[in-house]
Amino acid sequence: MLNRFNQLLDFFLPRLCVSCFSRLDYNENYICNNCFGEINKPDLIRLQHEYNRKFADDKIISGFTSAFVLEKDKALQHLIHSLKYNENFRIGIYLGKIVAQLCREIIMEWNADYIIPVPLHHLKKAERGYNQSFYIAKGIGSTLNIKLSHSKIKRKRYTSTQTALSLVERRDNIKDAFELKNTRSVHGKKIILVDDVITTGATISECGKILLTEGAAKVFALSVAIAD
Backbone dihedral region of 21: left (phi > 0), alpha (psi from -120 to 50 degrees) or beta? left
Is the whole-model pTM more than 0.85?
Answer: yes
As a whole number of angstroms, the distance between CA 207 and CA 192 comes to 11
* Claim to verify: residue 24 and residue 49 sit in the same structural domain: no
* Whether 134 and 173 share a structural domain: yes
Q: Residue 222 belongs to what domain range? A: 40-226
Same domain, 54 and 90: yes
The verdict on 88 and 186 lying in the same domain is: yes
Task: Using DSSP bridges, classify how beta strands 178-180 and 190-198 pair: parallel, antiparallel or unpaired.
Answer: unpaired
Mark whether 58 and 34 lie in a shared domain. no
Identify whether residues 28 and 48 lie together within a single domain.
Answer: no
Residues in the chain: 228
**What tens-digit pLDDT sequence spans the chain (228 residues)?**
445 545 555 555 789 999 999 999 988 999 999 999 999 999 999 999 999 999 999 999 999 999 999 999 999 999 999 999 888 999 999 999 999 999 999 999 999 999 999 998 777 887 788 899 999 999 999 999 999 998 788 888 776 565 656 667 777 777 877 888 877 789 999 999 999 999 999 999 999 999 999 999 999 999 999 997
Same domain, 116 and 168: yes
Q: Does one domain contain both 25 and 46? A: no
For the domain that residue 136 is a member of, what is the CATH number? 3.40.50.2020
Q: Give one DSSP letter per residue of the chain, joined into a string.
A: -HHHHHHHHHHHS--B-TTT-PBPPTT--SS-HHHHHTS----HHHHHHHHHHHTTTTT--SEEEEEEE--TTSHHHHHHHHHHHSS-THHHHHHHHHHHHHSHHHHHHH--SEEEEPPPPHHHHHHHSS-HHHHHHHHHHHHHT--B-SSSEEE-S-----TT--HHHHHHHHTT-EEES-GGGGTT-EEEEEEEEESSSHHHHHHHHHHHHTT-SEEEEEEEEE--
Residues 33 and 130 in one domain: no
- On whether both 25 and 54 belong to a single domain, the answer is no
pLDDT value at residue 185? 84
Mark whether 123 and 170 lie in a shared domain: yes
Q: Please list the residues that pair with 198 across neighbouring strands.
A: 226
Verify that 31 and 135 share a domain, yes or no. Answer: no
